[in-house]
Structure 1
Amino acid sequence: MSGLEPDRAPERASQRTRVVPLTGAGVLGGAVVAVVLAALGLVLSRVDLVLLALPLAVSAAWAWASRPPGGTGGPTTGLRVRASPDPEARVVRYGVGVDVDGPPGSAGTDAVHVRVSVLGTTPHDLVVTPAQAADLAGRAPILHSGPQLLLRLQHRLLGQDAAWFTAPARELDVEQVVTPRAVPVASLALPQRLQGLTGNHQSARPGDGGDFRDVHPFAPGDRLRRIDWRATARRARLADELFVRRTSALADATVVLVLDTRDDVGENVEDWTGHTADGQGVTSLDLAREAAASLATAYAASGDRVGVQDLASQARVVQPGGGARHRDRVVRAVTLSRPSGSRFARLRPPVVPPGALVYVFSTFLDDEAPRMATLWRAGGHRVVAVDVLPAPRTGGLQPHERVAFRLVALEREERMSALQASGVELLRWQEAPATVERAVALRTLARAGRGPR
């Protein structure tokens, strides 16, 4: 579900911070105990209590004296981060370097406390020496595709025996756009009518490059090398009558990928009240990005033209085109899609080229995406509704929430049935365990539209 950007460049981030030393709680506690013991010794005339308070007072005084100064003379730290997402292992490998510059004459820094946080996971704390902090390495899971926060780091310095410490430095966020994984697609559906003049698909019109079509009387414009002398000898009734072998022309398909980015729902039904799905588990936009990137890559490899539309924004449009550079442009547009939370209703569907095959990627939890798909189908396009709703988990729902979820599920089933009744074909895109069912569904879609166009 995750990968690198097309440039394969790791994300780098750095910051320089001047930290403010604070006195440790142990030093303050020792000083308070020393004062109390000394006061009791004076009041009770007990020398042993005064002698007992003496080492505590000396220790507190030494810790206070060795405490580095604040302000411009205080210690500074530099934090460097390099993160490289791994598309196969679904993890981000990162390297962290903390450079500590202590003030002259101070006791120095005894340890560095580094906290690494990833969205949806428990923060990981490390306490290492300054030498070890200069070169740390680790890895964290990649939760989703698209624009996201990969890492959040925070650090602070600890003095000898924790006599002093610094307030945590400001957080450093490492953000990157993680492209979805493009899975192989062996079977591709085609539009009802091919409009292109070149390509890899058989069309209904005569031309060059395709399979044998028929034998036809010679007409102006036919090439002499296509004359079939055997057919002419059998069929010709006149001396000047000739017959030629005609083949079908090859054409390319026009495919438009329509993303419904108005919301993003995850596997946990309890989180469906918001527009985004944070934390663990696959989300609807994760599946939509993966499905759109996979289909765009497969159609581009077949020489077809691919474009992108977004139901949540009129500005996110990539017109259909072909070639490797255009494929990267389409995948980039799909990768940058993020939930907008917009719930506006369109008066008419976005304009798509005549005869295009339209894929609509949505959860179909409301009527907007089905309405657009029905309008495109009524306009003569072949429309495939791609269901990207993750398998819902209802374990933590209350009884009334379960009833509400059942009502939402029933309404969704009615929308899907109405789509099928209007001629829209359905495709469910799920995670890896359902790859066999998905391959069968894609093959069925490809066979349903087989034949010259």
Structure 2
Amino acid sequence: MTTPRAQEGATPSASDAGGGWVRSPAQAAAALVSVVCLVAAFVFSRAELVLIAAPLLIAALVDRSRRPSAGAAVDLAVEIADPAEGTTSAVTAILSAEIERESAADALHLRLATVDRPPFDAVLAPRSAAPLRLGIAVGHSGPQRILTAEARAIGADASWAGDPDASGSPTEVQRIVRPVPVPLRSLPLPARLVGLTGQHVSVRPGDGGEFRDVDRYRAGDRLRRIDWKATARRGQRPGELYVRRTTATSDAAVHLVLDARDDLPGEVADWAVPYPRPGLRSLDIAREAAASLAAAYAGMADRVGFDDLADAARALPPRSGTRHRQAVLRAIETTAARGSVTDRIRVPRLAPGALVYVLSTFLDEQPVRLALAWRAAGHRVIAVDVLPPLATADLPSRDRIALRLVLAERDVRFERLRVSGAERLQWASAERDVQLRRLAAPQRRATSGRPA
């Protein structure tokens, strides 16, 4: 169990003579109705209206004199039971709300806001609010606010209530949900491997790779590579030796460029609303794709780098090793939508001969411009489409026409990338493994690294 730190505001003490209490609308409404009834009884000579006004007026006067003497501070504490590591599921939140003992509060008003839900109000007895168990559905990866809670005390007959301005900041619980990596069977490689270590077979002669050929012994060849059977079979002169040659193993430089400037749900009607309906979003797909690719390439001892188009300060150069792998995965899981569109003035520089994955929805020109620049520099570029499957059932006809234009411009961008030599990968597609197998084919890899 983890107890997040609550943001504590100024709390009135018990010696403040009822500090933190304000009149509730119920007290003002009772006084107003009683005055209106008395005036109507005098004007229209209706004595029965006095029978309605008298109890309300007496109740308002009594409630006015029953202002609580103690403060209205409410102490909130939240405990979150974390789900299994690497999963997004429901979590249990235990909320405890305690009112000052000297306070004569009859109820507690809670305002709660959870993931992807608008705030909702609940009025509970003080005993029911300590503790209160909440089941919260967590369906997204990345940093998110699990729960926001505000509380105020309600006095007798709801005539007095805690002052919201004096109750301090609300209690917020935030967490980072790690994306679940998907095992990948096929991995595309750059057009040329320039590293000296790794598990990929290169075309250069060296140690550690597959059999290359049998040739005469030259200066610098290791004695343990002498093939005595080939020497006995091919040797023509005394002292003529033959050695077995192999190819060297190399590593690949892979750069993951994630476009975190927006986070779009599958429901197109929710693109502009503050609380979209639950469902898969583009950044969920992007985090899953980036984490899967980073884990797969790091497992092959390749050098993996990361860059966020929304924040240049979060860039990580391609490196290998366990610590760097954890740093890349941490950068991926902490990626969140920035909410504003920013332009990169300079194209980020990459390692020579790197394989570049551009993970974006490609709804604007910036990722396309960067991808074309990297293709012109000789890098192999794979455009990873992270736009979720779109649902347009709730769209009016005017918005559907606008969506067609947006998708048509998006198709034009993908065509420009294809003409330049960049390749496309739809991560949310059911044929993702087939696309990866096609991209990893040697005949595709031999020609994809040439500049357009």
The alignment partner of 2:106 has SS state of strand
Quick one: structure 1 residues 404 and 59, their matched pair in 2 at CA, closer, same or farther if it must change by over 3 Å?
closer
Residue in 1 that maps onto 2:433: 439
Return the offset for 1:359. Answer: 0.5
Report if aligned partners of 1:85, 1:91 keep a CA contact under 8 Å in 2: no
Residue in 2 that maps onto 1:120: 116
Residue in 2 that maps onto 1:20: 20
Comparing 83-92 with 30-39, greater Cα deviation is found at: 30-39
Report if aligned partners of 2:73, 2:152 keep a CA contact under 8 Å in 1: no
Cα distance in structure 2, aligned partners of 1:165 and 1:424 = 63
Residue in 1 that maps onto 2:134: 138
Report if aligned partners of 2:115, 2:144 keep a CA contact under 8 Å in 1: no
Quick one: structure 1 residues 364 and 125, their matched pair in 2 at CA, closer, same or farther if it must change by over 3 Å?
same
Cα distance in structure 2, aligned partners of 1:9 and 1:258 = 33
Q: Name the aligned partner's letter for residue 301 of structure 1.
A: G
Return the offset for 1:447. Answer: 2.4
TM-score, length-scaled by structure 2: 0.83
Equivalent residue pairs, number = 432
Comparing 377-386 with 226-235, greater Cα deviation is found at: 377-386
Return the offset for 1:339. Answer: 2.8
Return the offset for 1:89. Answer: 4.4
Cα distance in structure 2, aligned partners of 1:196 and 1:83 = 45
Quick one: structure 1 residues 366 and 234, their matched pair in 2 at CA, closer, same or farther if it must change by over 3 Å?
same
Residue in 2 that maps onto 1:153: 149
Residue in 1 that maps onto 2:325: 327
The alignment partner of 1:13 has SS state of coil
Cα distance in structure 1, aligned partners of 2:26 and 2:364 = 59
Residue in 1 that maps onto 2:349: 351
Residue in 2 that maps onto 1:383: 381
Comparing 146-155 with 214-223, greater Cα deviation is found at: 146-155
Residue in 1 that maps onto 2:16: none
Cα distance in structure 1, aligned partners of 2:193 and 2:2 = 39
Quick one: structure 1 residues 49 and 122, their matched pair in 2 at CA, closer, same or farther if it must change by over 3 Å?
closer
Counterparts of 1:277-292 in structure 2 under 5 Å? 280-292=278-290
Cα distance in structure 2, aligned partners of 1:335 and 1:277 = 22
Report if aligned partners of 1:75, 1:102 keep a CA contact under 8 Å in 2: no
Residue in 2 that maps onto 1:228: 227
Report if aligned partners of 1:12, 1:82 keep a CA contact under 8 Å in 2: no
Quick one: structure 1 residues 58 and 270, their matched pair in 2 at CA, closer, same or farther if it must change by over 3 Å?
closer
Residue in 2 that maps onto 1:5: none
Quick one: structure 1 residues 255 and 165, their matched pair in 2 at CA, closer, same or farther if it must change by over 3 Å?
same
Return the offset for 1:62. Answer: 5.0
Cα distance in structure 1, aligned partners of 2:253 and 2:233 = 42
TM-score, length-scaled by structure 1: 0.83
Residue in 2 that maps onto 1:3: none
Cα distance in structure 1, aligned partners of 2:351 and 2:153 = 61
Cα distance in structure 1, aligned partners of 2:67 and 2:328 = 57
Quick one: structure 1 residues 89 and 340, their matched pair in 2 at CA, closer, same or farther if it must change by over 3 Å?
closer
Report if aligned partners of 2:261, 2:339 keep a CA contact under 8 Å in 1: yes
Cα distance in structure 2, aligned partners of 1:388 and 1:444 = 19
Q: Deviations over 1:341-398 (max 9, x none)?
A: 234364x532111111111111122333223222222322221110111222223333
The alignment partner of 1:309 has SS state of strand
User: Do residues 255 (structure 1) and 254 (structure 2) align?
Assistant: yes
Q: Name the aligned partner's letter for residue 97 of structure 1.
A: S
Q: Name the aligned partner's letter for residue 148 of structure 2.
A: R
The alignment partner of 1:74 has SS state of coil
Q: Name the aligned partner's letter for residue 77 of structure 2.
A: R
Residue in 1 that maps onto 2:72: 75
Q: Deviations over 1:167-199 (max 9, x none)?
A: 444533333443333222232111111111111
Return the offset for 1:67. Answer: 2.6
Q: Deviations over 1:282-335 (max 9, x none)?
A: 332222222112111111122111001233443331011112211121122223
User: Do residues 202 (structure 1) and 201 (structure 2) align?
Assistant: yes
Quick one: structure 1 residues 246 and 271, their matched pair in 2 at CA, closer, same or farther if it must change by over 3 Å?
same
Quick one: structure 1 residues 277 and 445, their matched pair in 2 at CA, closer, same or farther if it must change by over 3 Å?
farther
Cα distance in structure 2, aligned partners of 1:262 and 1:23 = 45
